[in-house]
Amino acid sequence: MFSRAKKNTPIVGLDVQTSSVAATEIIGGGSSPRVGKTAIAPLPPGATRDGEVIDSERFAAALKELFSSQKLGRRVRVGLANQRAVVRVMRLPTIDSRDDLETAIRFQAKDEIPMALEQAVIDWQVMARGVGDGGQQMDVAVVAARRDTVSGVLESIKLAGLRPVGIDMSAFGMIRALRHEVSSTLPGAVSDASSDQQGDAGKGGAGADSVPRLYCNLGDVVNLAVARDGDCLFCRVSPFGVEGIAQRLAERRGLELEHAREWLFHVGLEQDPSEIEGDPEIVLA
């Protein structure tokens, strides 16, 4: 999950939601990546649930159509944002041996990861080392995802004729994408030109503001993360997002679901409801 793609190789990032899938092509790497093509496509009913693939064939068919129509590259990296993938930050004594550290992480994970470890895929990244009350210590970001969740995503990608090059937590991508933008708006913020040195566990490199920041992506699900210096300290996914709001609006006002979605985008979050054109009962719902 912390794998890194080769620099300057176009990669398409996939964000799987409840009713749609978004694709963004990233060209280049290091300190100067740029966005290429972007696209979003609706998903057929039953393909996913709360950000998790539950019907590989339906999801693969949607991917194949999206990539073919938009002429996107075949190398993809998928972001996970569902309740069957979790992140925990563990504080451990400093351990230099990778094998010994792996053993220590799995031992502590039994108490901190809310799933059977034999049914999970686990990856980790050392975030920081320092001196604590018990001597030399290290903070390690540990990701665990249900094995069937990961295999379902991989199966769909391969069925669609695509090549998976990595699976990541969507929260990590959100932090990497927004971290410098958020820092640049803070008093005394310093530009960081060395972001190509960031780690894949949501790290962003040196030079960022060290105050913890809250990141939120409101989509079909709600993705929350807290990070400091680009390190993900906490993340949670709530299955109730825009899609849930649209469903409730449709039920309450007798609307088609697609019509309810259009109303949500029309009303938005910024304008005073009294100034928005349309049926007041729907605008204020």
Q: Where are the domains of the chain?
A: 242-283
CB-based contacts of 86, cutoff 8 Å, min separation 6 = 113, 114, 115, 143, 144, 145
Scanning 12-135, the segments in alpha helix (DSSP H) are 56-70, 98-112
CA dist., res. 257 & res. 270, Å (int): 23
Share of residues in the chain with pLDDT > 90 (%): 33
Residues in the chain: 285
| 80 pLDDT more than 60 | yes
Residue type, 148: D
pLDDT in tens, 232-264: 888 888 877 887 888 888 888 888 888 888 877
Q: Annotate 132-192 with DSSP letters as a single string.
A: ETTEEEEEEEEEEEEHHHHHHHHHHHHHTT-EEEEEEEHHHHHHHHHHHHHHHTSTT----
CA dist., res. 70 & res. 64, Å (int): 10
For 230, left (φ over 0), alpha (ψ -120 to 50), or beta?
A: left
pLDDT in tens, 12-71: 999 888 888 999 998 876 667 788 899 999 888 889 887 789 999 999 999 999 999 999
- Which of residues 245 and 159 earns the better pLDDT score? 159
